[in-house]
A and B are shown apart, each in its own frame.
Chain A
C-alpha cells in the first residue's frame, strides 16, 4: 500500500513537473504573423471546435494563449539585444501594422494670392538650379542666398544716372530699396497666413494683444487722450476719472534766483509743521526726574548718617530743583529768548480780551 502510494506520489510529481516545463517549441499548422514593433502576433489557425467543447473552456483558451505567447517571445528573442544598466533589452524593429489616425487629417492650405493668379493665368512652376556659373569669378555661385550671383547691394561701382541728384547716396538708396523689398515680402507672407487662418487684420494701426493688464489699459487710455491735435487739452474726462499726473519723467525744480520771500515763507511754514509734530519728550523727562529723585533720596539718607556729606546732598537738591523748574532747554540764550517773548505775548492776549 505504502509502495503504491509512493509510486503514485512520484508519478504525480513527475506529471506536475512536465506540465510546468512544457517545451518551448510549439507546433502550429500555420505560422503566426508577427509585428514585433507593436509586440503583436497574429494567429490565423482555425480553432478546433470539437476540442473546444471537450475541454473546459478556460483551460483551452489558457493553453492557446500560452502557446501563442511562447511563439511571440521566441520571435522577440530572435532580435538583437543589448544590456542597459544590468537589464537585457531587445531592440524592437519598426512597426509594420498601420494604425488608424488619432485626429482628423489637416485641411489643405488655401492657395496664396500668387498661386491663385498663377492658376488663373496658367503659369507653371519652373524648376531652377541652385547654382549658376559666374563667368566673372569663374566659379559656381548660388542663384539666391549667401554670396549670390547678382547681389545688387555688394556692387563696388554704381553709375549715377543723369536724372538723379548728384548729392544722393546711390549705395544707401540701393540698401534702402532692398530693405523695403524684404519688408514687403514679409508683409505679404503674413497676410497670406492671416487669410489662410481667417484671422482679421486691421488695415491701419496695431492688432490688439490678447490680454491687457489694468496698467496697460490705463497707459493706452492716457496715450490715446494725448494723441489729439491739441495734445489732449480739450478732451473731456469721465466724472470719476483722475488726471494722470506722473506721465512725465522730468523733475521740475524751482529757479535758482526765484522769489526769496516766497522761499523764506515756505521754509518757515515747514518749520512750523515740524515743530507741531514734535512730541514733548515725556519719557526722557520722566526718566531724568526719577533719577534726580533717587539721587536726592540717596543724598538725604547720607545726610542723616553723617553731617559732612549733607552739604553735597543740599547742593544736589538745589540743582535738581533748578532743573525741574524749566520745561525744555537749559541754555542761557534759550532762556533769554523765552523771557523776551513772554511779555509781548501776554500783552497781546490782554488786548484781545
Chain B
C-alpha cells in the first residue's frame, strides 16, 4: 500500500472531475475526518486515517481491500472508475440522468440508456459529459457518459442511445469476483 504519486493523482482527479467537477475538493478536504487515497495492487482505495492506521498491520499479500475502492489503474496507467465509488459520486454529481421505471432493469443488466427510457436530464449537459444515472425514485443506479447533449436529446428519435453505460449496481452481482 502506498500513497499515489503526483501523476497518478492527476490522472485520477481528471477522471473524477468528469463526474463531480470541482466537488473533488469536498472529498479531499472533509470536515468530519481525514480521508486519503491509497494505492494497493493497482487499485485506489479511499480510506479514513483511522482505518489506514489499522490496515498497516496487515501484510501486503494478505490485504485484499481497505475502505472504499474507487477504481483501478490499468496496465497503461489509465484510471478506470468502479461502481463501488458510486456512494461518493452520487451526492456530489453535477449532471444527472433519471431513467424511467421500464428501462431501469435494462440499464441494470448493462445496456445503454435509450431516448425512450430517458425520464429527465439536467439542463446544459454537454456531449460526452460524465453523468450519474438515477431511477425515478432518486436512487442512484450507476454512472455513464452522455452520448448526446441535452439539446440534442430533445430532437433525436426514441431508439437512439442517450447515455453510454459505464457502471451500474447490478455489477455487484454480475462481477462479484472481480470487485474488491
B93 contacts A331, C-beta separation under 8 Å: yes
Alpha-carbon separation in the docked complex, A237 to B171 (Å): 60
Q: Count how many chain A residues have C-beta atoms less than 8 Å from C-beta atoms of the other chain.
A: 33
- For B11-46 the 0/1 string (1 means CB < 8 A from A) is 001100100011011001100001010100000000
Known contacts A256-B3, A271-B24, A288-B149; is-contact A334 B94 (Cβ 8 Å): yes
A352 cross-chain contacts in B, Cβ below 8 A:
none
- For A247-269 the 0/1 string (1 means CB < 8 A from B) is 00000011111101001101110
- For B86-112 the 0/1 string (1 means CB < 8 A from A) is 000001111110000000000000000
Specify the chain B residue showing the minimal Cβ separation from A273. B10
Alpha-carbon separation in the docked complex, A292 to B154 (Å): 11
Specify the chain B residue showing the minimal Cβ separation from A292. B151
B123 cross-chain contacts in A, Cβ below 8 A:
319, 322-323, 330
Q: Does B2 contact A (CB under 8 A)?
A: yes
B38 contacts A256, C-beta separation under 8 Å: yes
B53 cross-chain contacts in A, Cβ below 8 A:
257
Interface bracket on B: 35 or more
Q: Does A329 contact B (CB under 8 A)?
A: yes
Partner of B126, one of A257, A271, A281: A281
Q: Does B160 contact A (CB under 8 A)?
A: no
Q: Does B122 contact A (CB under 8 A)?
A: yes
B93 cross-chain contacts in A, Cβ below 8 A:
331
Which of the listed residues A254, A255, A334 has the most CB atoms from chain B within 10 Å of its own CB? A334
Specify the chain A residue showing the minimal Cβ separation from B27. A267
Known contacts A253-B3, A263-B36, A270-B9; is-contact A323 B124 (Cβ 8 Å): yes
- A-B residue pairs in contact (CB < 8 Å), sample of 21: A254-B2, A254-B3, A256-B3, A256-B52, A257-B56, A267-B9, A267-B28, A268-B25, A268-B28, A270-B9, A271-B13, A271-B25, A288-B126, A288-B149, A322-B123, A323-B123, A326-B124, A329-B95, A330-B122, A330-B124, A331-B122
B contact set with A: CB distance below 8 Å: 1-3, 5-6, 9-10, 13-14, 17, 21-22, 24-25, 28-29, 34, 36, 38, 49, 52-53, 56, 91-96, 122-124, 126-127, 149-152, 154
A contact set with B: CB distance below 8 Å: 253-258, 260, 263-264, 266-268, 270-271, 274-275, 281, 284, 287-288, 291-292, 295, 319, 322-323, 326, 328-331, 333-334
